[in-house]
Amino acid sequence: MNNLVPPSGYYLSNRLGRVYLEALQEAIGRNGLNALLNLTGNGGFIDQPPANDLALGFELATVSNLNRALEMIYGPRGARGLALRGGRAMYARIIEAFDLPTGFNEFAFRLLPVSTRLKIGVPALARALTQQSDQTHRAADRGNHFTYTIERCAVCWGQSAKSPLCHLTVGLLQEALSAFGRGQEFRVSQTECRAVGAAACVFHIEKEPIA
């Protein structure tokens, strides 16, 4: 693939990179993932996936280049749907892979009202993902919604676009909100994107479930 995004010098933990590749494989299949890895010069991950450890060793540019390759192969609309699916698949794997501080799967957390679960869960997810990367995730409670901000976003790192690119993150947040909301769906939209010229990627999360 021409014009690959060069290395950023910023990283995800190896385990988070592994989770990302596993979720992407769930969305597009083993052959699809292998094609993307070869296209982006990451074929070494086919036989040797990232280590299952917390060392910061998975380049942000790898995620960005795979996201670009996804659009190249499947087109903008197809890539958007697959990225959303991959993001949603990431959430359960993140819960399994990392010791999140809120105990999302513990009985006491599941008994809390949905509004409380959202108020606890969204910032806790942001803190956990910050700890697993050189990215900074921040969640802010705005009353009737949350804003979720990512600095040094891996999905769109080094890219330029006319519209937001971070569908993978939208899918991840959608699935997290659904888990916090006992299966209800919540609207998540990207309002700012670094690839479009913003300083950071920003997402709007509605607190009221979709009727």
Domains of the chain: 11-209 (3.90.1520.10)
Q: For the chain, 211 residues long, give each residue's pLDDT as a single digit of tens.
A: 888 999 999 999 999 999 999 999 999 999 999 999 999 999 999 999 999 999 999 999 999 999 999 999 999 999 999 999 999 999 999 988 987 665 666 667 778 888 999 999 999 999 999 999 999 999 999 999 999 999 999 999 999 999 999 999 999 999 999 999 989 999 999 999 999 999 999 999 999 999 6
pTM value?
A: 0.94
Q: What pLDDT is recorded for position 101? A: 60
**What is the b/e burial string over 4-21, where b = at least 16 CB atoms within 10 angstroms of the residue's CB?**
bbeebeebbbbbbbbbbb
Question: What pLDDT score does 59 carry?
Answer: 98
Q: What is the pLDDT of residue 90?
A: 97
